[in-house]
């Protein structure tokens, strides 16, 4: 069952600074989030919208914990380049295939940092005639709390540090770590 175990910090050599959130902690928190989502959307037609690529793991693990069928669709937007700072510019790289008219949409995200991406996305999806649009994110950084973005489901509030793993990358690497970690500053020239 090699694939079930996944990487541990030792497999990353010296790139990682610290494991912030373990695989077990993520899984247990996703259990709670799924339970709440099940209750809140009981009797409603729920559409999960994932934001590529970071939300792939959250979507896979959260959606499989729901005790209901929930269709999913995907969007790709760009707000970050390959660095670690938000550009503030949101561009749609891949749009949804689904008509949102009358749908109850739950945006599934990996992380909310400045909140720029999600506040833009919230407005964009709402303007398409969705019956409701809410946000579920695994991680939230302190800056996001200052922004007027109403996030209904939050996994973990984390310090204002650049993190990788569980979908989050630095220059496309480290997404497949099964936990959330910080990188040694030397790795990204910090």
Would you please indicate which residues are annotated as catalytic (active-site) residues? 113
CA dihedral 89, 92, 98, 102 (to 10 degrees): 20
User: For residue 76, is the peptide bond before it cis, meaning its omega torsion is within 30 degrees of 0?
Assistant: no
Q: Which stretch binds Mg ion (CB under 5 A): 66-74, 84-92, 109-117, 138-146?
A: 109-117
Q: Which of 22, 52, 80, 126 binds ligand XMP (CB under 6 A)?
A: 80
Q: Which of 54, 133, 153, 179 binds ligand XMP (CB under 6 A)?
A: 54
What's the min distance (Å) between Cβ of 20 and Mg ion?
17
To ligand XMP, the closest distance from the beta carbon of 98 in angstroms equals 20
How many whole angstroms separate alpha carbon 37 and alpha carbon 68? 10
In the complex, what is the shortest distance from the CB of residue 89 to ligand XMP, in angstroms, rounded to a whole number? 10
Q: Of 52-60, 86-94, 100-108, 119-127, which segment contacts Mg ion by CB under 5 A?
A: 52-60
> Which residues make up the interface to ligand XMP (CB under 6 A)?
54, 79-80, 86, 109-118, 162-164, 168-169
């Amino acid at each position: 069952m090699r694939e079930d175990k996944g990487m541990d910090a030792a497999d990353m050599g010296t790139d990682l600074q610290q494991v912030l959130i373990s695989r077990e902690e993520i899984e247990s928190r996703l259990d709670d989030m799924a339970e709440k989502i099940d209750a809140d959307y009981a009797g409603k037609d729920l559409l999960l919208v994932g934001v590529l690529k970071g939300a792939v793991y959250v979507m896979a693990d959260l959606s499989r914990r729901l005790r209901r069928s929930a269709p999913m669709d995907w969007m790709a937007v760009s707000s970050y380049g390959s660095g670690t700072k938000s550009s503030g510019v949101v561009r749609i790289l891949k749009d949804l295939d689904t008509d949102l008219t009358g749908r109850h949409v739950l945006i599934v995200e990996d992380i909310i940092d400045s909140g720029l991406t999600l506040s833009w996305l919230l407005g964009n999806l709402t303007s398409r005639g969705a019956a409701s649009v809410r946000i579920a994110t695994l991680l939230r950084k302190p800056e996001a709390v200052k922004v007027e973005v109403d996030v209904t489901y939050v996994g973990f509030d984390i310090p204002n540090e650049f993190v990788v793993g569980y979908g989050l990358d630095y220059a496309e690497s480290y997404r497949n770590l099964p936990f959330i970690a910080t990188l040694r500053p030397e790795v990204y020239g910090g």
